[in-house]
């Protein structure tokens, strides 16, 4: 195994608390049919690529699949540079090991739509290196210069002598070299010669997901397994004081009832019996910091706070607030907009679950996680073993959307297995999954825009009063390192693409003791609502058309283009009968890695009697850099638009005494098919690097709907979701 | 605790449980047919959809006892000879994202096409509404049903 340090042209500066270049380990093993080399291959740990004598190319995918197709698109990048015959490629999931760490995140984690962006160069180099090894082996065999050889899919070719050797033939007898060939960026395939990337191969998981064969953690079994559930306290950091333990123990099929610090565990012979006992649980829970939180009242407090004179929040690193404050002080006019968003729940269709088996010498777990490294380490900690003694079977995830960056359900399963002394399949009921919602924070927001005498924006101040996410998700160490800057809450709050000379955003902490998480699109989901609604208000006050106003105000040509393009797609200028259009710009990314961008237009109508908004059409022009799997990419954009539309119209968690008021899909409703608009997506290619996509189109949807509502009614919707009562309130 | 005789995907099988044991858990945990999914346990999502005598039901709301003597079909038994037309269409449209809801979607759609081989868009939406998909694959679900109806 070789360890290669490469420059992935990704600067981590200003991203995660700094460190120098990126290191990426790559190993290349050649599986041959003979026993001795098979053993050698087995010794070659952490390989990304293995080639068998029959020509099968095994690509180890370090990504974790939750529906975004990364287990196809990431191996595809390796296969492209390797010049593999895709029909001979087999993809296997990587085990948990440092060698597979995400090059930017430095842990095995799938978040922030960063998978392809992060692994892009390392994956290409891994593939190119493997290809070079094959070429060198063929050159040695033919006794010709490596420079005379080329490859076709799965074959090394010597044109001069018309000789060909398949990758399998080479692998059958070749040995991996001591030192792997070094690959310089200019040795990589020119983007114009790609024959897999950008061409749409079938997703590797599509057949099994259309036949019921795909295996999720909830489908896993182990010999002697029992079932379990763990009723976590309704409020964060709370736990049981007492509960009806004796009663539960006597219930049919129940083999164990366990009191843990944070909840009550139940084990039994069937999930039916376990859920019955769970429903019979009556517990007194201890007070915790969040036990008094009522979300409506808490939101009013936050809104009031933002109206105060001396309010100040935590700013992103390197902020220069002085310019914005001075600009506001000398502005001819200040336009103020207030906005708010509620807590929302991930509602991934597979309730959280994990099969755990604590054995005398280690732990085996079957689960779906976005953070494999953390799942392994936490399982090890609970079981009291070294992380190396944990075997993690990464299963398909029935949705993740950020929620599965938390691994508490793995911890629960391991605790149950340890207590029961058996393998336990821990399943949360939907009701418990929702009761334990780790939500996108509730926000109250206020934007002050200072205008000069000519109506130009000269200063911008965006206040966001919200819970925090980072300390809960990543812990205190990271929170300290980030100096209290919550990049999850504050994502998307910058207005750098607009020609606004001085801007600042500030996070006012609202510590309500609520469980919070990254939710698809993170901060942009709420912050961009405020920004793009505000831009619309400013356009209106300036007497300008919202499309033209944005195009004039946007500095970046790519940003201008997504707005222009989506306006054309939607025929923005055309008058409609009974419906109206709203537009919004959106972006996803970070300065060092680049931004993907969207222009989004919503067409809505309104039933004034019921207050129900109907969205008829959503158009989205998405600039994604380099589209790797275009068809799948469109699916991600469609999915995110629908996901976000749910949060625009319906989705809302409320808390009473810290506990979630909603129970199941009856009172936490996600978007249904009949509420899904016609969706029109256009993908714009703007470069040679894949930019973040998986949650890109979240950001523009809520403001596009809000702006359409204004166009339709002349009223502003300021609090998402735009439920019927709020809609009626705004019309009153 | 009682034993019930069912026909599942053409096979005579026995499942055990109380009279209210949901068919969902009987097929998943006792018969190992895990393509049928648990999403809400309350008849609210459709992830657990199977056919009982050709009718799409939510297996979390259907007792195994009530299916005794009837023909149960799960996603695993849908394509009697290879893939069902809907499954082929689902693959061609690349409908699935996380995939978790899709067995239920396909089973629900199969009931529609059995009754109405050429549904129009409204009929599709009306029939499929309430089978939830959090990944937002709805546009492709509709397209896949249209394709299956076309290509049969
Ligand atoms: S699990 Fe049966 S309808 Fe949701
Ligand atoms: S594909 Fe994920 S819930 Fe439908």
Higher pLDDT, A355 or A31: A355
Q: Residue A112: its pLDDT value, please?
A: 67
Q: Residue A28: its pLDDT value, please?
A: 34
Do A414 and A383 meet the contact criterion of CB atoms below 8 Å apart?
yes
Average pLDDT, integer, range A172-184: 82
Higher pLDDT, A42 or A393: A393
A562-596 pLDDT per residue, tens: 999 999 999 999 999 999 999 999 999 987 889 99
Distance between CA atoms of residues A595 and A590, nearest Å: 6
pLDDT of residue A73 exceeding 70: yes
Average pLDDT, integer, range A56-75: 86
Q: Residue A584: its pLDDT value, please?
A: 98
Residue found under tokens 């359900």:
A409
Ligand 1 centre to CA of B18 (Å) is 19
pTM (whole model) above 0.80: yes
Higher pLDDT, A1 or A162: A162
Lowest pLDDT segment from A14-23, A39-48, A644-653? A14-23
Q: Residue A179: its pLDDT value, please?
A: 80
Residue found under tokens 């609202």:
A510
pLDDT of residue A3 exceeding 80: no
Q: Residue A475: its pLDDT value, please?
A: 94
Residue found under tokens 């010794």:
A43
Distance between CA atoms of residues A709 and A606, nearest Å: 8
Average pLDDT, integer, range A405-411: 96
Q: Residue A182: its pLDDT value, please?
A: 87
Please report which ligand is nearest the Cα atom of A398: 2
Q: Which residue of B has its CA nearest to A676?
A: B138
B111-146 pLDDT per residue, tens: 999 999 999 999 999 999 999 999 999 999 999 999
Asked if the peptide bond before residue B86 counts as cis, ω within 30 degrees of 0, the response is no
A342, A346, A452, A350: which is closest to A702 by C-alpha?
A342
A214, A222, A220, A202: which is closest to A66 by C-alpha?
A214
Chain length of chain A:
732
Distance between CA atoms of residues A159 and A166, nearest Å: 14
Nearest-by-Cβ selection for A666 from B29, B38, B44: B44
C-alpha separations of A140 from A147, A167, A365, A544, A594 in Å = 12, 14, 45, 70, 42
A655, A32, A706, A623: which is closest to A297 by C-alpha?
A655
Q: Which residue of B has its CA nearest to A207?
A: B91
Examine domains A5-210 and A295-343+439-731 and report if their fold is the same: yes
* Residue spans per domain, chain A: 5-210, 295-343+439-731
Half-sphere exposure of A143 (CA within 13 A, CB side): 0
Q: Which residue of B has its CA nearest to A64?
A: B98
Do B108 and B132 meet the contact criterion of CB atoms below 8 Å apart?
no
Nearest-by-Cβ selection for B47 from A349, A670, A671: A349
Structure tokens at A408: 């508490």
Nearest-by-Cβ selection for B136 from A213, A430, A642: A642
Do A638 and A679 meet the contact criterion of CB atoms below 8 Å apart?
yes
Q: Residue B61: its pLDDT value, please?
A: 98
Q: Which residues of A touch B79 (CB under 8 A)?
A: 211
Distance between CA atoms of residues A697 and A30, nearest Å: 42
Q: Residue B126: its pLDDT value, please?
A: 98
Examine domains B2-76 and B85-151 and report if their fold is the same: no
Per-residue pLDDT band for A50 (boundaries 50, 70, 90) equals confident
pLDDT of residue A18 exceeding 50: no
Distance between CA atoms of residues A85 and A55, nearest Å: 9
Lowest pLDDT segment from A141-150, A170-179, B110-119? A170-179
CA A638 to chain centroid, in Å, comes to 15
Mean pLDDT of all residues in chain A?
91
Instruction: Decide: helix, strand or coil at residue A121.
Output: helix
Ligand 1 centre to CA of A524 (Å) is 32
B26-51 pLDDT per residue, tens: 999 999 999 999 999 999 999 999 99
Per-residue pLDDT band for A30 (boundaries 50, 70, 90) equals very low
Higher pLDDT, A395 or A179: A395
Q: Residue A560: its pLDDT value, please?
A: 98
Q: Domain A5-210 has what CATH class?
A: alpha beta
- Written as one string, the DSSP assignment of A18-75 is --SSEEEEEEEEE--SSHHHHHHHHHSTTEEEEE-TTS-EEEEE-S--SSS-HHHHHH
Q: Residue A27: its pLDDT value, please?
A: 36
Q: Which residues of A touch B95 (CB under 8 A)?
A: 210
A325-347 pLDDT per residue, tens: 999 999 999 999 999 999 999 99
- Written as one string, the DSSP assignment of A408-471 is HHHHHHHHHHHHHTS-EEEE--HHHHHHT--BBPPEEEEEEEEE-TTS-EEEEEEEEEE---HH
Residue found under tokens 């492709």:
B140
Nearest-by-Cβ selection for B25 from A205, A271, A632: A271
A707-723 pLDDT per residue, tens: 999 999 999 999 999 99
CATH number of B2-76: 3.10.20.30
pLDDT of residue A110 exceeding 80: no
Distance between CA atoms of residues A259 and A649, nearest Å: 40
C-alpha separations of A437 from A177, A227, A654, B99 in Å = 51, 22, 11, 22
pLDDT of residue A280 exceeding 50: yes
- Written as one string, the DSSP assignment of A496-563 is TTB--SSEEEEEEE------B---TTTTHHHHHHHHHHHHHHHHHHTT--HHHHHHHHB--HHHHHHH
Instruction: Decide: helix, strand or coil at residue A261.
Output: coil
Distance between CA atoms of residues A27 and A125, nearest Å: 11
A176, A154, A149, A178: which is closest to A166 by C-alpha?
A154
Q: Residue A20: its pLDDT value, please?
A: 22
Is B50 near ligand 1, meaning CB less than 6 Å away? no
CB contact under 8 A, B21 and A272: yes
Residues 6 or more apart whose Cβ sits within 8 Å of residue A232: A262, A263, A408, A412, A432, A435, A436
What's the per-residue H, E or C state across chain B? CEEEEEEECCEEEEEEECCCCEHHHHHHHHCCCCCCCCCCCCCCCCCCEEEECCEEEEHHHCECHHHCCCEEECHHHHCCCCCCHHHHHHHHCCCCCCCCCHHHHHHHHHHHHHHCCCCCHHHHHHHHCCCCCCCCCHHHHHHHHHHHHHHC
Q: Residue A4: its pLDDT value, please?
A: 27
Q: Residue A61: its pLDDT value, please?
A: 87
Residues 6 or more apart whose Cβ sits within 8 Å of residue A375: A96, A365, A367, A369, A392, A407, A410
Is B22 near ligand 1, meaning CB less than 6 Å away? no
Instruction: Decide: helix, strand or coil at residue A472.
Output: helix
Pairing label, strands A362-367, A390-394: parallel
Q: Residue A47: its pLDDT value, please?
A: 59
Highest mean predicted confidence (pLDDT) among A48-57, A98-107, A279-288:
A279-288
Average pLDDT, integer, range B5-23: 95
Q: Residue A323: its pLDDT value, please?
A: 96
Q: Residue A679: its pLDDT value, please?
A: 98
B45-66 pLDDT per residue, tens: 999 999 999 999 999 999 999 9
Please list, residue by residue across A519-539, b when 16 or more beta carbons sit within 10 angstroms of its beta carbon and e when fewer do. bbbbbbbbbbbbbbbbbbbbb
A433-447 pLDDT per residue, tens: 999 999 999 999 999
B55-94 pLDDT per residue, tens: 999 999 999 999 999 999 999 999 877 899 999 999 999 9
pLDDT of residue A33 exceeding 70: no
CA B48 to chain centroid, in Å, comes to 6
A120, A99, A121, A100: which is closest to A183 by C-alpha?
A121
CB contact under 8 A, A638 and B74: no
Q: Which residue of A has its CA nearest to B130?
A: A672
* Residue spans per domain, chain B: 2-76, 85-151
Q: Residue A32: its pLDDT value, please?
A: 29
Distance between CA atoms of residues A370 and A384, nearest Å: 23
Instruction: Write down the architecture of domain A295-343+439-731 according to CATH.
Output: 2-Layer Sandwich (3.30)
Q: Domain B85-151 has what CATH class?
A: mainly alpha
CB contact under 8 A, A398 and B37: yes
Phi, psi of A714, deg, nearest 5: 80, 5
**What is the least distance, in Å, from the CA of B107 to any CA of chain A?**
10
Please list, residue by residue across B118-132, b when 16 or more beta carbons sit within 10 angstroms of its beta carbon and e when fewer do. ebeeeebbebbbbbb
Distance between CA atoms of residues B76 and B83, nearest Å: 10
């Amino acid at each position: 195994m070789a360890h290669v340090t490469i420059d992935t042209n990704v600067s981590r500066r200003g991203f995660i608390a700094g460190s120098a270049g990126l290191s990426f380990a790559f190993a290349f093993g050649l599986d041959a049919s003979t026993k001795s080399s098979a053993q050698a291959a087995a010794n070659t740990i952490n390989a990304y690529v293995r080639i068998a004598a029959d020509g099968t190319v095994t690509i180890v995918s370090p990504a974790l699949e939750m529906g975004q197709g990364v287990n196809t698109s990431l191996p595809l990048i390796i296969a492209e540079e390797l010049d593999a015959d895709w029909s001979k490629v087999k993809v296997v999931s990587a085990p948990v090991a440092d060698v597979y760490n995400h090059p930017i995140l430095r842990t095995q984690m799938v978040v922030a739509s960063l998978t392809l962006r992060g692994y892009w160069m390392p994956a290409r180099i891994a593939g190119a290196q493997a290809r070079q090894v094959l070429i060198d082996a063929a050159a040695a065999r033919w006794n010709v210069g490596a420079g005379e050889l080329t490859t076709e899919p799965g074959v090394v070719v010597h044109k001069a002598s018309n000789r060909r050797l398949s990758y399998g033939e080479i692998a059958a007898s070749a040995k991996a070299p001591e030192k792997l060939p070094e690959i310089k960026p200019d040795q990589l395939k020119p983007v114009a010669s790609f024959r897999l990337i950008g061409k749409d191969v079938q997703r590797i998981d599509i057949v099994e997901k259309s036949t019921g064969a795909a295996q999720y953690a909830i489908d896993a079994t182990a010999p002697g397994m029992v079932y379990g559930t763990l009723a976590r306290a309704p409020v964060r950091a709370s736990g049981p004081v007492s509960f009806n333990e004796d009663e539960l123990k006597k219930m049919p099929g129940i083999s164990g009832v366990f009191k843990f610090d944070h909840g009550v565990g139940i084990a039994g012979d069937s999930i039916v019996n376990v859920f019955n006992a769970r429903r019979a649980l009556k517990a007194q829970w201890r007070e915790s910091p969040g036990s008094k939180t009522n979300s409506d009242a808490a939101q009013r407090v936050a809104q009031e706070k933002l109206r105060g004179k001396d309010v100040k929040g935590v700013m992103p690193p390197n902020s220069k607030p002085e310019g914005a404050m001075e600009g506001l002080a000398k502005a001819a006019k200040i336009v103020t907009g207030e906005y708010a968003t509620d807590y929302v729940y991930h509602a991934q269709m597979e309730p959280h679950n994990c099969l755990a088996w604590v054995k005398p010498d280690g732990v085996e777990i079957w689960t779906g996680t976005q953070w494999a490294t953390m799942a392994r380490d936490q399982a090890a900690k609970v079981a009291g073993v070294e992380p190396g003694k944990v075997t993690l079977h990464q299963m398909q995830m029935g949705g993740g959307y950020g929620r599965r960056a938390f691994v508490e359900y793995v911890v629960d399963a391991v605790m149950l297995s340890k207590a029961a002394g058996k393998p336990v399949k821990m399943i949360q009921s939907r009701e418990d999954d929702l009761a334990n919602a780790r939500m996108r924070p509730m926000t109250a927001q206020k934007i002050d825009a200072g205008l000069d005498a000519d109506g130009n924006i000269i200063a911008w101040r965006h206040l966001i009063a919200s819970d925090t996410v980072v300390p809960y998700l990543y812990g205190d160490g990271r929170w300290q390192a980030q100096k209290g800057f919550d990049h999850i809450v504050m994502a998307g709050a910058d207005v750098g693409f607009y020609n606004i000379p001085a801007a600042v955003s500030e996070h006012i902490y609202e510590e309500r003791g609520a469980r919070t998480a990254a939710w698809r699109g993170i901060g942009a989901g709420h912050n961009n609502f405020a920004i793009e609604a505000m831009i619309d208000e400013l356009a209106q006050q300036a007497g300008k058309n919202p499309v033209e106003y944005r195009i004039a105000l946007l500095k970046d040509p790519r940003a201008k283009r997504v707005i222009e393009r989506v306006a054309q797609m939607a025929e923005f200028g055309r008058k409609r009968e009974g419906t109206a259009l709203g537009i919004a710009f959106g972006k996803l990314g970070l300065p060092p890695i680049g931004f993907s961008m969207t222009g989004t237009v919503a067409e809505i109508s309104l039933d004034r009697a019921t207050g129900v908004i109907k969205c008829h059409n959503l158009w989205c022009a998405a600039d994604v850099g380099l589209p790797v799997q275009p068809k799948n990419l469109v699916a991600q954009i469609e999915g995110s638009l629908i996901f976000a539309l749910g949060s625009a119209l319906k989705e809302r968690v409320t808390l009473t005494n810290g506990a979630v008021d909603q129970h199941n899909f009856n009172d936490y409703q996600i978007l249904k098919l009949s509420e899904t608009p016609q969706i029109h997506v256009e993908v714009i290619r703007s470069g040679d690097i894949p930019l973040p996509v998986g949650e890109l189109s979240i950001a523009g949807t809520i403001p596009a709907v809000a702006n359409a509502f204004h166009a339709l009614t002349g009223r502003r919707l300021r609090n998402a979701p735009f439920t019927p009562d709020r809609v009626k309130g705004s019309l009153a | 605790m009682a034993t019930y005789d069912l026909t599942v995907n053409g096979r005579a099988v026995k499942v055990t449980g109380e009279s209210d044991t949901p068919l969902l858990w009987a097929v998943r945990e006792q018969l190992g047919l895990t393509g049928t999914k648990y999403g809400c346990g309350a008849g609210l999502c459709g992830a657990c959809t199977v056919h009982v005598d050709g009718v799409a039901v939510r297996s979390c709301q259907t007792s195994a006892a009530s299916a005794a003597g009837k023909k149960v079909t799960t996603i695993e038994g849908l394509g009697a000879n290879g893939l069902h037309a809907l499954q082929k269409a689902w693959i061609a449209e690349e409908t699935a994202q996380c995939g978790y809801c899709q067995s239920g979607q396909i089973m629900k759609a199969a009931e529609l096409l059995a009754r109405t081989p050429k549904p129009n868009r409204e009929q599709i939406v009306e029939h499929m509404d309430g089978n939830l998909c959090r990944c937002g694959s709805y546009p492709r679900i509709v397209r896949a049903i249209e394709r299956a109806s076309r290509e049969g």
